[in-house]
Structure 1
Amino acid sequence: MNASLHRDNRKRDTVFGEFKNINNLHIPDGYPIKPTFFHHNGKYTSQIDYFLFDERIIQQSNPNVKIAMRHPTNTSDHTLVTANMALKVKRCSLRPVKIYTRPNWRKCDKSSYKSTIESSLDNTSGEKKFSGTVESRIQKLELTLHKAAKISQASKEAKSAHRNWIDKTNKNQDADQEKLALKNKKRHLRQLQRQAHASKKEKFINEIMQASEKDSKTFHKLIKQQRSNHSSNTDVLYIGNEKFEGESILKAWTIHFEKLGTPNHDKNIFDLERFHLAKLQNDIIFENQHSKKEIKQATPEEVKSAIKNLSTGKTSDENGICSEHYKYAVDELSEEIASIINDIFSDLDVPKNLKNGLLTPVLKKKKDKTVPGNYRGIVVTSIFSKIFESIVKGRLEYELLPSQNPLQRGFTEGASSLFAAFITTETILIYRLLQNIIRTCCTGCRKGI
Structure 2
Amino acid sequence: MKIGTLNVQNIKGNSVYINEILKEIDILLIQEHWMFKFEEREIGNILHDHDFYARYVDEDTPISQKERIRGYGGVATIWPKNIPSHIKPLLEGNNHIAIIELYAKPRPLCIINVYMPCRGGKHTSAEYRDSLDVVREAITKYRRTYTILLGGDLNASLHRPNPNNLDNLLREFCNELSIITPEYYPEEPTFFHHDNKSTSQIDYLLKLQDQNDDGIQQVSIRGQQSTNTSDHVLTTGKMYIKPHKKAKTEPPTTTEYHKPKWIKCDDSRYQSSIDEYLNEEPKCQNDNTNIQLILDIVHLSNTLHTAAETAIPKHKANGKRTQKKKGRTPWNENIGQASRIAKKAHYDWVMEGSPKGQNCMLFNNMKATKKTLRQKQRQAQARIREKKYSDIIKSADLNQKLFFKLVREQRTSHCAETDTLYLDGHELQGDELILKGWNTHFNSLGTPDANQVNEEECLLIKEILEDPEKRSEIPDITQMQVENAISKLANNKAPDHLGLTAEHLKKGGATIVNSNEFLNRF
The TM-score normalised by the length of structure 1 is 0.25
Greater percentage in helix: 1
Greater percentage in strand: 2
> Highest Rg: 1 or 2?
2
